């Protein structure tokens, strides 16, 4: 098994470390590889879209010929975990808390509405405890950094975790999205759950 991490910008190194810890915990025969170009995307069994700046990541992916390929592969069943900026890239409907609708390159396959910078800018970032029992884990601290909020789901998109009125972890078939940063968490449960999706 090969797990790819889109490695243009953002927390891809932290995702690689957390994925390796999850692989060891599950005793899997798997490698974690960076993905920057189409040939690297072609050999992975699942892909992680990390946090960072969603517009920058989308522009880079588009420029290097990876964005359309991601759309095709994900729509054909390639498992994907989108965290924070990655969750924004997966959503069908995106707006910004300050400026409203914003044009940016997106994958746009998930039946979700997401609002960028929902909780505010960098200084409004926060840490909280979530209950991961819905995916086989326990409670753990997670970090929200300039976090978006998933305010609406429809179709096959299902809420797995919420915080107040907003959904913070959603799954639609082979697509998994979180608005927090699981790679900075005290638990590997999100990466373990994603690996279980790849294994199916």
Alpha carbon of 128 to those of 7, 77, 106, 144, 172: distances in Å?
Answer: 27, 32, 28, 8, 25
Cβ contact 122:146 at 8 Å: yes
pLDDT confidence of residue 54: 85
Q: Is 114 annotated as a binding-site member? A: no
Q: Is 192 annotated as a binding-site member? A: no
Q: Which of 98, 118, 93 is nearest to 108 (CA)?
A: 93
Tell me if residue 127 is catalytic: no
Q: Is 145 annotated as a binding-site member? A: yes
pLDDT confidence of residue 85: 92
Q: Is 123 annotated as a binding-site member? A: no
Cβ contact 157:87 at 8 Å: no
Tell me if residue 84 is catalytic: yes
14, 40, 93, 181: which one is catalytic? 181
Tell me if residue 181 is catalytic: yes
118-133 in b/e burial notation, b at 16+ Cβ within 10 A?
bbeeeeeeeeeebebe
Task: Compute how many other C-beta atoms are within 10 angstroms of the C-beta atom of residue 164.
Answer: 7
pLDDT confidence of residue 97: 63
Count of domains in the chain? 1
Helix, strand, coil distribution of the chain in percent, nearest 5: 30, 35, 35
- In which region does residue 108 sit, left (phi positive, over 0), alpha (psi from -120 to 50) or beta (all else)? left
pLDDT confidence of residue 11: 80
Which residues fall within 8 angstroms of residue 130, CB to CB, at 6 or more apart? 139, 140, 142, 161, 163, 168, 180
Q: Residue-wise pLDDT tens for the chain (200 aa)?
A: 999 999 998 788 999 999 999 999 999 999 999 999 999 999 999 999 998 888 888 898 999 999 999 999 999 999 999 999 999 999 999 987 665 566 688 999 999 999 988 876 656 688 999 999 999 999 999 999 888 999 999 999 999 999 988 999 999 999 999 999 999 998 999 999 999 999 98
15, 84, 172, 191: which one is catalytic? 84
Predicted model pTM:
0.94
* Containing structural domain, residue 23: 2-199
Q: For residue 137, what is the domain's CATH number?
A: 3.40.50.880
Cβ contact 168:179 at 8 Å: yes
15, 172, 183, 192: which one is catalytic? 183
Q: Is 116 annotated as a binding-site member? A: yes
């Amino acid at each position: 098994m090969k797990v790819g991490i889109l490695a243009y910008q953002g927390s891809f190194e932290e995702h690689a470390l957390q994925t390796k810890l999850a692989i060891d915990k599950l005793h899997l025969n798997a490698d974690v590889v960076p993905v920057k170009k189409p040939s690297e995307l072609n050999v992975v069994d699942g892909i992680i879209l990390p946090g960072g700046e969603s517009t920058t990541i989308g522009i880079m992916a588009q420029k290097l010929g990876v964005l359309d390929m991601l759309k095709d592969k994900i729509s054909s069943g390639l498992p994907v975990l989108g965290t924070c900026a990655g969750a924004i890239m997966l959503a069908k409907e995106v707006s910004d808390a300050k400026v409203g609708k914003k044009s940016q390159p997106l994958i746009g396959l998930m039946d979700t509405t997401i609002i960028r910078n929902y909780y505010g800018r960098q200084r409004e970032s926060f840490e909280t405890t979530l209950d991961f029992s819905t995916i086989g884990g326990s409670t753990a601290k997670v970090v929200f950094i300039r976090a978006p909020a998933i305010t609406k789901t429809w179709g096959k998109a299902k809420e797995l975790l919420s915080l107040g009125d907003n959904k913070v972890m959603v799954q639609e078939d082979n697509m998994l999205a979180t608005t927090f940063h699981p790679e900075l968490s005290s638990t590997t449960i999100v990466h373990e759950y994603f690996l279980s999706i790849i294994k199916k």
